[in-house]
């Protein structure tokens, strides 16, 4: 468990953001140098490596950048005419094909409030991987198929670039999307 320095709440180990207040949980301070080691001669270069606890993956800060091209290059399908989207979730091996409607909601089911997203990641380890109940949406537009983060707590990444909340980004067949830390591949038909 990780304790938030802002509000004192605990979150599962590996969480990047506090589930209660949304504060960044990784310790940005460099570890102390081991005793008895002599300092290396100065090269004039500043030390720029941030410390990350072992087994932690940095969450990319390029939110103001346009995501790079699809991992498979150009889409084999014109996304504006795509009729179906297939989500492949490697951690569980699940594949889910849905007809592309006006909006496909992505998140975790919340029966207490009657919320059931079309792509429910609850049984794929969504809670442990930082998927919000109302996390993101896949929308059809005249420009094609778009991904929108719905101000989720742990963010959404498209091809390893974190996308800013509430801004639509085009997706193509073969793209990788991370809802929190849960990896999902998308294919358009």
Q: What is the pLDDT of residues 97-137, one digit of tens each?
A: 999 988 999 999 999 999 999 999 999 999 999 999 999 99
**For the whole model, what pTM was predicted?**
0.61
Residue 16 has pLDDT above 90, yes or no: no
Provide φ and ψ at 34, rounded to 5°: -60, 145
User: Which residue segments constitute the domains of the chain, with CATH numbers given?
Assistant: 1-58 (no CATH), 79-188 (2.60.200.20)
Give the H or E element holding residue 177. Answer: strand 176-179
Q: What is the pLDDT of residues 45-64, one digit of tens each?
A: 444 445 445 554 444 444 44
Which region among 1-5, 79-83, 154-158 has the lowest average model confidence (pLDDT)?
A: 79-83
């Amino acid at each position: 468990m990780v304790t938030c320095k802002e509000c004192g709440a605990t979150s599962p180990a590996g969480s990047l953001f506090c589930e209660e207040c949304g504060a960044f949980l990784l310790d940005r301070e460099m570890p102390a140098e081991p005793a008895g080691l002599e300092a290396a001669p100065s090269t004039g270069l500043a030390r720029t490596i941030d410390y990350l606890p072992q087994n932690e993956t940095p969450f990319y800060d390029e939110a103001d950048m346009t995501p790079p091209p699809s991992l498979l290059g150009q889409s084999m399908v014109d996304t504006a005419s795509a009729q179906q989207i297939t989500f492949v979730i490697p951690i569980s091996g699940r594949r889910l094909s849905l007809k592309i409607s006006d909006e496909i909601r992505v998140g975790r089911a919340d029966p207490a409030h009657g919320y059931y997203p079309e792509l429910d990641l609850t049984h794929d380890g969504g809670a442990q991987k930082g998927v919000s109940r109302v996390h993101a949406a896949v929308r059809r537009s005249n420009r094609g198929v778009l991904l929108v983060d719905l101000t989720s707590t742990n963010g959404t990444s498209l091809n390893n670039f974190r996308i800013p909340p509430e801004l639509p980004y085009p997706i193509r067949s073969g793209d990788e999307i991370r809802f929190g830390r849960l990896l999902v591949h998308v294919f358009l038909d």
